[in-house]
Each structure stands twice: as C-alpha cells, then as structure tokens.
A and B are shown apart, each in its own frame.
Chain A
C-alpha cells in the first residue's frame, strides 16, 4: 500500500475513535509529535520531583512528610509510565535523557520556579497539579493507546495530589498571621506561571491544530486555561485568599471569568532557559544521572557474569517447561 492510502486509512481510524497501537502504521509526523509531547511530559514529571523534593526533609509534620514523600514518588512513577509509553514509539529512555541533558528537550516551565516556603507545597498541589489534571484528563482519551493508558493511570493516582495541596493551603489559611501571609504569597507567585502551563495562546501555538486533528489533543490551550480560571476563581474563596489579578471578573454574558493579560515575555524567557531555576534543575538531573552511571554499569556487569554462569548450568541440566498460568 502506498503512503497516501495508509494516511487516509490512518485518519479514518482516528475519526472513528479507534486507538492507534505501537505497531500500527502511523505518519512520521504523528510519531514525532507524540515522542516530543510524551517525552516532554515525562521530563516534566521527573524534573518536577525537584522543587517539591527539596521540602521533604523540611516538612513541618510527620504526616505531611509521609504525604509529600508519597507524592514525589508518584511523580517518579508517572515519569516512568510516560517514558515507557514513549519507548513504544521507537526511542529509548537513554536517548530521551540525552535530549533533556543537552537542552534539546523541554519540560514544563513551571518547574523552573523556586519553592521558597512550605506554602509552595500547597500552591503546587492546588494550582500546578490542578492545571496538570485539567490537561491530562482529556489526554486519557488520546488517540495513541499507550499514552492514553498511561494517562488513565496517572489521572487516577493524581487526584490525591491536588487535594493534599488544597488541604495544606486550607490549614495555613486558618492558621496564624504568618501562615496566612505565607499562603497568599505562594498563591501570588504560582498563579501566573500555572496559567502559562497551558501553553501559548491558540493563535501562537504551532502544534494545536494538527494535534487536534490527530486527537492527541482534544481541547485547545485557551479552552483549558479558561476552564481552569473558572474553577480556581471559585475555589480560592474557600481559602479566603485572592488570586493576583485585578482584571479577574465574572462575565455574565460569556458565563466565564475574564482575566488579565498573561506575561508572554516571561513565558518565552523561562522556556528559553532564563527562568530562576532552569540551570539548577537541569544540572541537578545531570548530576544524578552521572553519579549513577557506575551503579547502572555495575548492575549490568553483574548480570552478565550471572547469565554466563546460568547458561553453563542450564545446558548441563535441561528441565521440562511447564505452563506458568
């Protein structure tokens, strides 16, 4: 079959909501788009462990410490699910790491902001995980099977992340003056970067249209961002706090909140590497990877020795195979 026929069949499957599986024919661009998106997503989970990870040893109660550990561990797990999904597309995890470590692959810019107070753990859970969930729920219906399945598992696990974040902020909002101030300050710092997480506006987003046609994305950046603003504008009232936007106002005609302009200049600069923590985050990841090289090598070397010993044993003692199930 020629490529054009294959491409038509492919799009037909997508239109009928038939999932694409790893060995199915797919256009090169579809594969590339997915590799880019899934690996970025995986990198975001793994880099995203750092800003919260640095508060594990400083969590103010043992309960909070256990929750935070479990949450950051979940992020590692989610990174792993996503790397696995990307690997079905013919790229290895090492290759993806190399792209990350050489600045060729991006990750969510949000993780280039510093976590400077305990309240940031709350704000990240509420706003950053909230924004992530808003993005991820539609992705669990994405046309590519392995990605969709990874997202189903991630969404299921992530629901506790946002709730624990909000609980942190709620506790702070009922606490002493200093805690309340800490709470508002964290919301102020994380609100705009959280809005930027949905990516550039639809007019400036190079991938949205094609991704929608392929059902990799189901809603545009701006649609999801609006939904997020609408939800948060209501939720913040429970905290007795405010969102740092003087233009935030309910629009009766549109049945949505209006909100102020996003600082895209800041967004593109953080994407380009000029955020407050870009260099630090990346160098931490590279250092962890390089410090681990001898460990990974040792495990392989040991396995090779063991396999050689096992092989000579097996050839001498042939046993019958029985079904495992």
Chain B
C-alpha cells in the first residue's frame, strides 16, 4: 500500500510527506492536550463532558496519523528516517508513542495557535472554533488526496470536526450575545488569539508540496475560513475581523512559543524517565 501512496523515489518528496503528516498529527495531539486540561474543571458538568469528548477526538486523530507515519518510516532507510523525524532512536522503536513522546520541541510542527494556554472559557472556545473551521475546509480538500490513507483519516475526522465547529460556534454566539462580561471576554480572546490565526494560511514548503494545493485553492481556503468566522462573529454581535495585520509564525517549522516546552515536559516525562519501559 505504501508504494502507491507515497512516492519513494526522491528523498525530498518523502521528507515533505513525513513533515506534513507530522504537522497534522502534532496539531491534533497538542489540541487534544490543551482540551484535556479542562477535564474536571469545566463550567458545568455537561460541558466538561462535551469538551472531554473533543479532546478524545483530537487524541484519536493524532494516533491515526502517528501510526500511519510510523508505517511510512519503516519503509525508508534508517538514516533517512531518523533525519526526517529529527531524533535519535532505533528504527524498530519508531511507533505512535515514540513519535509523540520522544521528539523535542524543535521537531514538533504544530501551529503556534494550538499550544497557547487555555485561558478562560472564551479563549478556549475561540481557539477550538477557529482551528476547527480551518480543519473543516482543509480536510474537505485532503479527503480527495491521492494518498488514500491520509484521505481516509481526513474523511473520518471530518465528521468529528463538523461537530466541533457546531459546538464551538454556538458557544461563541452565546458568549458574544450573552452578558456584558461574556462579550468583553470574547473580545479579549479575539485580541489575544488573532495574531496567531494567519499562520494557518501561510503554507510552508511541505504543505505546498504534499497537499498539492495551488495558490488559488489556498487563497480560497483562507477566504472560506474568514467568511465563516465573520459569519459567526456577526451572529455573536462581535466585530468582524480581517487577516491583514501582522501575525506570528514559526510553529510549523519548529520555532515555538515557550509554552510547548512545558507541555512536552509534562506529557513526556514518564517515557523519558524509563526509556525502555512498556506501559
């Protein structure tokens, strides 16, 4: 199956594929991690359960992706594989867990947006909504990808993403059009998170090569996203936004905020303390 789905010839194509897949997997994992931090601390039991469901969806997506990456790496010569994922490990030990637990911050390729702290409910909701709307349009494209494994993962995830969009956009509307306090918290959330939105629409090399999306498609992805967000904001009686201002980038090429290091320190401490243990 791998011969069909990944071009084994030019090393660079491999690199692009692995990096793009890692980028998708890391996004899901770190989103899942942040959402899971709410478990037991939600504003009401019912919403605690809802958010934990979303965390589970993200962790599940990341597992599918890491597992797929691991099988891809088995087929590539060891040296190349290790350079690709940027860490030192015996090739036979490459699996979903080593990919998640043994890479350092510079090897992670998630958007800066997803690693930012949860903040309050408004900030968390806006992060989930903006990321899920982006994922919704992206996965609609990726489910037609020639890599059938990726297409399959995108198709399966889309159902989850649709629900995340529905759930989180309804919350934005409630908060924006709720009380004075909730509106001002939504405005603060927008102000805090907005500089990180642009990174989603600035494709790096591996996205361009592997997604096979031309500039026109990328522009329409961006416009669709912005239209949808503004539609939600309008319903929420919040001011509409644009993407013209300066934004933060770097996550996708391994240049992260300070927050990611703490996430990984917490997440990875056990496998790193007991290197060869099975859990």
Binding site for B on A (CB under 8 A): 46, 49-50, 53, 56-58, 60-66, 69-70, 72-73, 76-77, 79-80, 83, 118, 168, 171-172, 174-176, 178-179, 284, 287-288, 291-299, 301-303, 305
What does DSSP make chain A's interface, helix, strand, loop or mixed?
A: helix
Contact of A176 among B185, B271, B277 (CB under 8 A): B277
Give the distance in Å from the alpha carbon of A12 to the alpha carbon of B33 in the complex: 54
Once the chains bind, are B174 and A79 in contact (CB under 8 Å)? no
Bits for B92-114, please: 1 = Cβ < 8 Å to A, else 0: 00001100110000000000000
Once the chains bind, are B266 and A58 in contact (CB under 8 Å)? yes
Chain B residues 35-51 with CB under 8 Å of chain A are 36-37, 39-49
**Given A58-B267, A66-B56; A73-B39 close (CB under 8 Å):** yes
Once the chains bind, are B174 and A56 in contact (CB under 8 Å)? no
Bits for B38-69, please: 1 = Cβ < 8 Å to A, else 0: 01111111111100110110011011001000
Q: Which 7 A-B pairs have the closest CB atoms?
A: A292-B43, A298-B178, A298-B182, A53-B40, A60-B270, A295-B43, A49-B40
Distance in Å: Cβ of B98 to nearest Cβ of chain A: 10
Once the chains bind, are B175 and A298 in contact (CB under 8 Å)? yes
Distance in Å: Cβ of B155 to nearest Cβ of chain A: 20
Interface residue B196 (Cβ < 8 Å from any Cβ of A):
no
**Given A62-B59, A62-B96, A296-B43; A302-B271 close (CB under 8 Å):** no
How many residue pairs bridge A and B at CB < 8 Å? 139
Interface centre among A49, A58, A69 (most CB of B within 10 A): A69
**Given A58-B266, A73-B53, A77-B49; A291-B278 close (CB under 8 Å):** no
Interface residue B173 (Cβ < 8 Å from any Cβ of A):
yes
Distance in Å: Cβ of A74 to nearest Cβ of chain B: 9
Give the distance in Å from the alpha carbon of A69 to the alpha carbon of B52 in the complex: 7
Distance in Å: Cβ of A11 to nearest Cβ of chain B: 35
Once the chains bind, are B174 and A299 in contact (CB under 8 Å)? yes
Once the chains bind, are A62 and B63 in contact (CB under 8 Å)? yes
Q: Which residues of A contact B77 (CB under 8 A)?
A: none
Once the chains bind, are B278 and A302 in contact (CB under 8 Å)? no
Contact of A305 among B63, B120, B177, B277 (CB under 8 A): B177
Interface residue B246 (Cβ < 8 Å from any Cβ of A):
no
Binding site for A on B (CB under 8 A): 29, 33, 36-37, 39-49, 52-53, 55-56, 59-60, 62-63, 66, 96-97, 100-101, 120-121, 173-175, 177-179, 181-182, 185, 263, 266-267, 269-271, 274, 276-279
Contact of A60 among B36, B53, B62, B279 (CB under 8 A): B279
**Given A58-B270, A62-B97, A171-B279; A296-B44 close (CB under 8 Å):** yes
By beta carbon, the residue of chain A nearest B186 is: A298
Q: List 8 A-B contacts (CB under 8 A).
A: A64-B279, A73-B52, A83-B45, A178-B277, A292-B44, A295-B47, A297-B179, A302-B174
Contact of A291 among B62, B120, B182 (CB under 8 A): B120
Once the chains bind, are A291 and B49 in contact (CB under 8 Å)? no
By beta carbon, the residue of chain B nearest A297 is: B179
Q: Which residues of A contact B45 (CB under 8 A)?
A: 46, 76, 79-80, 83
Once the chains bind, are A66 and B60 in contact (CB under 8 Å)? yes
Q: Which residues of B contact A175 (CB under 8 A)?
A: 277-278
Once the chains bind, are B182 and A294 in contact (CB under 8 Å)? yes
Distance in Å: Cβ of B225 to nearest Cβ of chain A: 24
By beta carbon, the residue of chain B nearest A64 is: B279
Give the distance in Å from the alpha carbon of A240 to the alpha carbon of B29 in the complex: 35
Once the chains bind, are B56 and A73 in contact (CB under 8 Å)? yes
Once the chains bind, are A60 and B100 in contact (CB under 8 Å)? no
Besides A65-B59, A291-B121, 16 new A-B residue pairs in contact (Cβ under 8 A), listed by A number:
A56-B37, A60-B279, A62-B66, A62-B97, A63-B63, A64-B279, A65-B36, A69-B59, A70-B56, A73-B39, A175-B277, A178-B274, A284-B40, A291-B43, A298-B174, A302-B174
Give the distance in Å from the alpha carbon of A63 to the alpha carbon of B41 in the complex: 23
Q: Which residues of B contact A178 (CB under 8 A)?
A: 274, 277
Give the distance in Å from the alpha carbon of A46 to the alpha carbon of B49 in the complex: 11
**Given A53-B40, A56-B39; A179-B60 close (CB under 8 Å):** no
Once the chains bind, are B63 and A66 in contact (CB under 8 Å)? yes
Distance in Å: Cβ of B44 to nearest Cβ of chain A: 6
Once the chains bind, are B49 and A76 in contact (CB under 8 Å)? yes
Q: Which residues of B contact A65 (CB under 8 A)?
A: 36, 59
Once the chains bind, are A301 and B267 in contact (CB under 8 Å)? no
**Given A66-B56, A299-B174; A179-B277 close (CB under 8 Å):** yes
Give the distance in Å from the alpha carbon of A179 to the alpha carbon of B62 in the complex: 27
Give the distance in Å from the alpha carbon of A227 to the alpha carbon of B181 in the complex: 54
**Given A62-B59, A66-B60; A57-B179 close (CB under 8 Å):** no
Interface centre among A72, A294, A298 (most CB of B within 10 A): A298
Once the chains bind, are A53 and B39 in contact (CB under 8 Å)? yes
Once the chains bind, are B56 and A295 in contact (CB under 8 Å)? no
Distance in Å: Cβ of B173 to nearest Cβ of chain A: 7
